[in-house]
Amino acid sequence: MTQKVQIIIDGKTVDLPVLEASNGLNVVDVRELISEGIYTYDPGFLSTAACDSSVTYIDGDNGVLLYRGYPIEQLANQSSHLEVCFLLLNGELPSQTQLSSFEQEIQSRMPVDDHLQHIFEGFTEHSHPMSMLCAAVGGLASLYHDGLDIYNADHRRETALNLIAKIPTLAAMTYRKTKGEAFLAPDPSLNYAENFLHMCFGKEGERPNVSPTIAHAVDQIFILHADHEQNASTSTVRMAGSTEANPYAVMSAGIAALWGPSHGGANEAVLDMLGEIADESRIEEYVEKAKDKDDPFRLMGFGHRVYKNFDPRATVMQESCHAVLNELGVDDPLLRIAQKLERIAREQDYFIERKLYPNIDFYSGITLKAIGIPTSMFTAIFTLGRMPGWITHWDEMLSAPFKIARPRQLFLGPGKRDYTDIKIRNVDENLRSH
């Protein structure tokens, strides 16, 4: 039965159609409300669908995450990141022939133009990798702009291949810049994750030497981060893309949004927090701080806007984290603090009542630290993983009619008033009235 929602505005009943979702909640179509002279209000988009999409489905209450219908646990344990990239971009899993040719296409595009490499000369060893990535990915726009038609599906595909291929190279370059080391070119004999690790940690002139367990864990991290429906950075990509901007610049906007500690910067923030706690004896003190309403401190790596029971990515990441720690024989005091924090969060009423569970960032931060990746690189790795998701959403938006994203506002500022000459202006009074 077709549902509708009725609202009454000044005694007039307005019928709003309800759009049926293939999975999950239906959506009230409020577009006609503007003709009734009223807007909807939903800061932070807590209950607003800003688009329709067929890419990723999340059921936050039941801890479900599906890419194109496939459960994240199955993809993380049985596929590879490039297979997932193919799935996201094309909607279906590839055949062996399709996957091999896709891997080949990515491999051949991994090197980065010599000119672009000079962009890193403007940075120092202390520059944050995310600031370099914003610049480098945005800088790709200078190489791929003239002749790029975003309404041409072949051009969009070429853009997708380019970005997925070059992001590991650029991310590894940011790492080597922070180390003051010369860049290392991708090695065609290595797979995607191995190549990233080789470009980060390899030695010029030496044969690549990458542990398969570590490469597998990193590949899983890429898969787990590959898409997450309309999160802040993906919505930023859609919003910037809706202006018809150059896609490389659009992805740079996504990178900027991802950098924030409430989003992709969270796993870096987890490690900073564990380092600040520093000793198991201080855990209780920090837990009390997190519960104190007058203290802005929050337990980093806990809670999620969408997952209110458990984060399915955290479950996979927890296993992978332990596999890496076993392989490397790491007995890290920060991990002991992390495990105790996890226990507390599962036991204390404050966290149980608010459904605050460890999220993926909690475990990915510890895994990356064990691998030897510095915390400032964590969000760059998230960027690498999320790139196919951003491109897929950008492509999905451009494949159908869309409007430039232009939200409305509830205006609470002053009404029209006359300009007063500065000589007779009573500034103190103006400030007081605000």
* Dihedral sign for Cα atoms in the order 149, 154, 155, 156: positive
Rounded alpha-carbon distances, angstroms, from residue 369 to 4, 191, 202, 264, 365: 51, 22, 18, 16, 6
Instruction: List phi, psi (to 5°) of 125.
Output: -65, -20
The smaller minimum CB distance to ligand ACO, of residues 83 and 361, is found at 361
Min dist CB 360 to ligand ACO, Å, is 6
Rounded alpha-carbon distances, angstroms, from residue 375 to 116, 128, 368, 378, 380: 25, 10, 8, 5, 10
Q: Which of 81, 216, 225, 263 is catalytic?
A: 263
The smaller minimum CB distance to ligand ACO, of residues 86 and 351, is found at 351
- Would you call 263 a catalytic residue per the annotation? yes
For the chain, how are helix, strand and coil distributed in percent, rounded to 5? 55, 5, 40
Q: Which of 219, 227, 361, 395 is catalytic?
A: 361
Q: Which residue is nearest to ligand ACO (CB)?
A: 303
- Would you call 115 a catalytic residue per the annotation? no
Whole-angstrom Cα distance, residue 196 to residue 206?
A: 16
The smaller minimum CB distance to ligand ACO, of residues 304 and 369, is found at 304
Min dist CB 274 to ligand ACO, Å, is 13
Instruction: List phi, psi (to 5°) of 433.
Output: -70, -10
DSSP 253-317: HHHHHHTSTTTTTHHHHHHHHHHHH-SGGGHHHHHHHHH-TTS----TTB--SS-SS--HHHHHH
The smaller minimum CB distance to ligand ACO, of residues 248 and 259, is found at 259
Min dist CB 262 to ligand ACO, Å, is 5
The smaller minimum CB distance to ligand ACO, of residues 198 and 304, is found at 304
Min dist CB 354 to ligand ACO, Å, is 4
Whole-angstrom Cα distance, residue 55 to residue 396?
A: 8
Min dist CB 295 to ligand ACO, Å, is 10
The residues of the shown chain that bind ligand ACO, judged by CB under 6 A, are 262-264, 266, 290, 298-305, 354, 356, 359-361
- Would you call 361 a catalytic residue per the annotation? yes
Catalytically annotated residues: 263, 304, 361
